[in-house]
Structure 1
Amino acid sequence: MENLELLVSELCKHKEELPWLEFKRDNYNPDMIGADISALANAAALDERNFAYFLWGIDDETHEIVGTEHNLQNLKIGNQELENWLRGSLSANADFEYNLIDIEGVKVGILKICCAVHTPVTFKKLEYIRVGSYTKKLMDCPALQSRLWNRLHNKRYEEMLARQDVTLDDVLKILDYNTYFELTKVPQPDSRESIVHYLKEDGCIVQNDNGLYAITNMGAVLLANKLTDFSKLARKALRIIQYDGNNRLHMLREDISKKGYASEFEHLLKYIEALTPTEERIGDDGLRDKTVAYPELAIREIVANALVHQDFTVSGTGPTIEIFANRIEIINSGIPLVDIKRIVDNPPKSRNEKLASLMRRFRICEELGTGWDKIVMACEMLKLPAPKIELYDDSTKVTLFSAVKFSNLSLEDKLWAVYLHACVMHIQGEQLTNSSLRNRFDLPSTSAGSISRLIKEAVNKNLIKPLDPTTSNKYMKYIPVWA
C-alpha cells in the first residue's frame, strides 16, 4: 500500500465508524478480528466499495491517533502466527494486507480488506456483516443477506480497479482523455479537475479513500495510452496476425495493439483493411471502383462485438484476429449469452453492460441488437458465404469468408446461409423464396431446381418452415422455424 499516512488522515475525518471502517486502540482478540474481517469485506461489497479498513492505534470515539503497542504480524495464537491463523480460518475469497506505519511519533496498524467477491466472506464457516458499527451474523439479518447476494451476483468486471493510488496528474498521463472527449462529442474542459469529473462520472476512474484516484478496468481497457501500464490487462490487447496462404504454417506479420480499444479502434480497422485484398477496376464511366474481399461494415461490427462481449475473467488470453488468404477469423474469450441461432433477432445482452454502454456513446458499437443483421446483410450484398460462428469451451470464433463458388460450399455452410437469409428476410417483414435465395447465392434461374432441394433439406433440418404449407410449391414462402 502507498500513501498510507494520507489514507489514515482521510479515514479519520469520518465522524463515526462505518460498515466498512473499524477503529481500535489495542484490541487484538483473534476471533474478534476474524469476524470483523468477514463483516467488513461483506459490508464493503454491499456498499459497492472495493475495500474496507480496520485501523489500530485510533481512538474509536474521537478518531484521534493514539498509537498501538502491537504489530499484528508479530502476534501468535498458540504456536501459529496470528495472520496465518486468520487466513486459514477465513474463506478462500478473503484477501487483506497489513501495514504498520509511524504517524506523529506513534504506531498505527492498517488492515486493508478487499471486498467480498462472488460469495460472502466467512470466518470459521460463518458469514458476518456490519450493521452500523456492530458486527453481526449475516443469517440474523435476512434483508442485508438478500441485498449482499444481489450485489455479489451483479459485481461487474468493468468496475474493478486496474491501478490504484494515482495522482490527478498521472491520471491525465495514463488515460487518453482527448479521445474520450472527441468520441463523446463533449467539449473538452480547460481545467484538469473538470476533465477528471467527466472520467469519474462515466466510471473510468474512482476516487480512493486516501484522496488519490484509481483507474477502473473499463477506463484502462478503453482509454489506456499504454495497456502495458496495467499488468493484469496487458494480455487483453488485440492481436492481429496475418498468414501466408490458408493455414498457420507461415506467419507474415503480427501486431499487438498498444492502446485502449476506444483510442485505437479506427486505426485497427484501417490496419485490418490494409492487410485484406482489394481490387481496383476502371468502370465504363472511366472512374475507379474499389472491390473489397470482405464488407467493411461486417468487419467493424464483428471486431466491436469481440471487444465488447468478451469474457474478461478468462485469464491469459485476449481477442485475436487472424487473416488468411481466404478468410478472417475473429476470436474472443467467452461464449455469447444468447443462442447463436437467435443472434440475428434477439434483444441485445452483454456481460459487460457498462463497457457496452460507453462504447455505444463512443459510436463504436450498438446496443440495439442489429449488429448481426448488418453483418449478415453485408455478406449477402457481396454474395459471400454466410459468416460462421463456432463455440468452444471458453471462447467464440467468428469467420468471414471471401468469395466462394456455390458449388464449392459444403452442405453445412449452404444450410447456415439459408437459415440466416430466412432470419434477415423475416425481420424485414419479408420471406425467403426460391428467387430470393437464388439472388442471395448469385445463381441464374436455371438453378431453381437445386435451390428447391436445398430449401427442402433446410426444412427437414428444422431450420425453416413454410409460411403457409397449403400454398403451391411455385409460390411457397419460408420463415425461420422459430417465427
Structure 2
Amino acid sequence: MDISVDQIDKWRQVKSETQNLEFKEAKTQFDTKRLFKYCVALANEGGGHLLLGIADQAPRQVVGTQAFTDLMDITSKIFIAIGFRVDVSEVAHPDGRVLVFSIPARLAGTAYHFEGSYLMRSGEELVPMSEDRLRMIFAEGQPVFESKIALDKVSASDVISLLDTQSYFELIQLPYPIDREGVLERFIREKLIIHEGSHYKITHLGALLFAKNLDSFDTLSRKSVRVTTYEGKDKLRTLRDTIGKKGYAVGFSGLIEYINGQLPANEVIGQALREAVPMFPEIAIRELVANALIHQDLNEPGSSVSIDIYSNRLEISNPGLPCIEANRFIDEYQSRNERLADLMRRLRICEEKGSGIDKVVSSIEMFQLPPLDIRIGEKRTYTTLFAHKQFEDMDKSDKVRACFQHCVLRYLIGEKMTNQSLRERFGLGSRQSDVASRIVSQAIEEGMVKLEDPENASRRYAKYIPYWA
C-alpha cells in the first residue's frame, strides 16, 4: 500500500487521535508485543492506522523512527502472533522516517485477541473488552432482538386485542384507519407484526412498545419497568414497589406521571404564598427514562429498567454497559437498539439523536441542581438526579462534574465556558470569581477541561473547552 508524504501530513492535522488513528514517537524502537496489541485493538474498533515516528501531541512533529527496519520480518511476525495480515509501509518524510501500519477492520461477528485478551482502546489506554461489548460483537449478523418473534400464529383479532393499536395512531398523529386491514397493514409496514399465511406473528418490537399487558408475552414479561419508592436516602424501608404492565410506548406518559407523583415537592415562598415546585425538571426525567429504555441490553435475561426514588435523589438504571464512555453521553450518541430508538423518536417519546442528555444537563442547570451523575456498574448503567443542594454543601467531585458538564454544554452551542458563565451556573456572585477559578483549576488537574488558548496568560478573560475538543 503506497502512502504519500501528503497523506502523512493530513493525518498529522487531525484535532485528536481517534479509535482509528494512533501516533507514537518510537524514535529508536517500539515494543513488539505492544505493537501486536495495538493492531488487535484498532482492528476491533473498525480498523485504522498506527504511525510510528510522529509525536502524539500537537503539533505532532515528525521525529523519525528506527523501529522495525525489516518490514518483511515484522509483517510476518504480526500475522503469526495475531492471525491476520497488517500492511506495513515506510514513508520517507522530509523530517524523518515514518512507519505506517494499516490495520483492517475485524470481520463481522468476530473479535480479535492477543494471547487470549480481546482488546479495545479507552482514551490513551488499551483495555480488555467488556463481556457486554463482546456479546454484541458475537451477535452481529444474527437477528436483532426487536425482530425476533414474541408470539407466533395469532389471528388478526388477536393482534388487535393484544396490542394497543389505537395508541400507535394517536402517538404517530395519524387518523385511525376505517377498517382492521388498514391497521394491520400499517403495523406490518412498521415491522411490529409479520403476516404469514392466514396468521400473524407479533415481533418483540411490536409487543415491547404496544402490548396492553407484557405478561401476555413470555419472552418479554421480565422487561417491564419497575419503580420503587423508598422512605429515606437508603433501601431500608420500601414505601411502594410497582411493576408496569404496558408496552413502553403506550405506557410512557403514565409512567412519567406516576414517577412525578412519587417525588416529594420542594416548597418555595413567593411574594405572598408558599408554592410547591417539582424536585426535578420533567424533561430530565422523561429523557433519562427514555434513554434507559432505548439503550438497555435487551438480550440480558431476567433484567429490566429500574427506577428508584429516594428522598434526596432519583436513580434510573438499565441492564447493559454503554457503547460510548460516560463522559461523552452529552455530545455523542450510539444506540444498541436502533429500531426501538427510531420508532420511539418518531412517536415523539424521546428527542432526536444526540439531543437528549444535553437537554437534561441544561434543565439541571436551570433548576440549579447538583450535576447529573453517570455510573457504570458491572452489568448496569446508572444515571442519578440529585435534589437541590446549596453550593456550600456540594463536594469537590460534584463541583468538578458540574464544571465539566457546563463546559460541554457551552461548547455544543458554539460558546466557551468562562469564569462568569460558571459563576452563573452555580449562582455565585461577581465577587466569588476566585471560587469559580479554583473549581476550574481542579477540573483542569483532573483532565476534564482545558484552556482554549494555552498561550493566553490572562486567566481573567480565559475561555475553556472540554478535554476532548
- 1:82-481 alignment runs, 5 A limit: 152-153=140-141, 155-208=143-196, 210-279=197-266, 283-284=270-271, 290-346=276-332, 348-469=333-454, 470-481=456-467
Query: Which amino acid in structure 2 is aligned with residue 436 of structure 1?
Result: S
Assess, with a 3 A threshold, how the Cα gap between structure 1 residues 324 and 435 changes in structure 2: closer, same or farther: same
Q: How many matched pairs?
A: 335
Gaps of at least 5 residues in structure 2 are 1-108, 111-136
Give the whole-Å Cα distance in 1 for the aligned partners of 2:441 and 2:204: 50
User: How far did residue 447 of structure 1 move?
Assistant: 2.5
RMSD: 2.1
Instruction: Look up the SS of the partner of 1:165 in the other structure.
Output: strand
Give, in whole Å, the separation in 2 of the partners of 1:398 and 1:281. 27
Contact 2:326 2:375 in 1 (8 A): no
SS of 1:473's partner is coil
Q: 2: CA distance between counterparts of 1:288 and 1:358?
A: 42
> How much does 1:239 deviate?
0.5
How far apart are residue 283 of structure 1 and its match? 3.7
Per-residue Cα deviation, 1:248-274 (whole angstroms, up to 9, x for no partner) = 000000111111011110011111111
The structure 1 segments of at least 4 consecutive aligned residues displaced by more than 6 Å after TM superposition are none
The answer for unaligned runs of 5 or more in structure 1 is: 1-117, 120-148
- SS of the equivalent of 1:357 reads helix
3-state DSSP of counterpart to 2:460: helix
Quote the offset at 1:176 in angstroms: 0.3
Rounded to whole Å, the distance in 2 between the matches of 1:412 and 1:317 is 30
Could you tell me which residue of structure 2 aligns to residue 137 of structure 1?
A: none
Deviations 1:69-122 (A, max 9, x none): xxxxxxxxxxxxxxxxxxxxxxxxxxxxxxxxxxxxxxxxxxxxxxxxx79xxx
Amino acid paired to 2:415: E
Cα deviation, residue 367, structure 1: 3.3
In the TM superposition, residue 452 of structure 1 has moved relative to its aligned partner by 1.0
Instruction: Say if 1:279 and 1:290, in contact at 8 Å, map to a contact too.
Output: yes
2: CA distance between counterparts of 1:172 and 1:400?
A: 38
| CA positional deviation for 1:150 | 11
Percent identity over paired residues:
41
Question: 1:189, 1:150 → 2: CA distance?
Answer: 41
The amino acid that maps onto 2:466 is P
The C-alpha deviation readout for 1:29-66, integer Å capped at 9, x for no partner, is xxxxxxxxxxxxxxxxxxxxxxxxxxxxxxxxxxxxxx
Question: 2:417 touches 2:464 (CA, 8 Å); kept in 1?
Answer: yes
- Structure 2 vs 1, CA of residues 400 and 164 (structure 1 numbering), >3 Å: closer, same or farther? same
Letter in 2 for 1:194: G
The 1-side partners of 2:138 and 2:179 are apart by 39
AA aligned opposite 1:191 = D
Please say if residues 356 and 367 of structure 1, whose CA atoms lie closer than 8 Å, have aligned partners that are also in contact.
no
Structure 1 residues 201 and 288, CA, compared in 2 at 3 Å: closer, same or farther? farther
TM-score (norm 2): 0.68
Work out whether residues 227 and 259 of structure 1, in 8 Å CA contact, stay in contact via their aligned partners in 2: yes
Where 1:153 maps in the other structure, the secondary structure is: coil
Q: Which amino acid aligns with 1:153?
A: G
CA distance in 2, matches of 1:388, 1:280: 24
Determine if contact 2:228/2:307 at 8 Å carries over to the other structure: yes
Amino acid at match of 1:234: S
Three-state SS of the structure 1 residue aligned to 2:424 is helix
Question: Tell me, what secondary structure is at the counterpart of 1:417?
Answer: helix
* 1:425-481 alpha-carbon deviations (Å, 9 max, x no partner): 111111111111111111223332222111111111111111122141111111111
Partners of 1:211 and 1:310 in 2: CA distance = 34
Preserved contact between residue 228 and residue 308 of structure 2 (Cα < 8 Å): yes
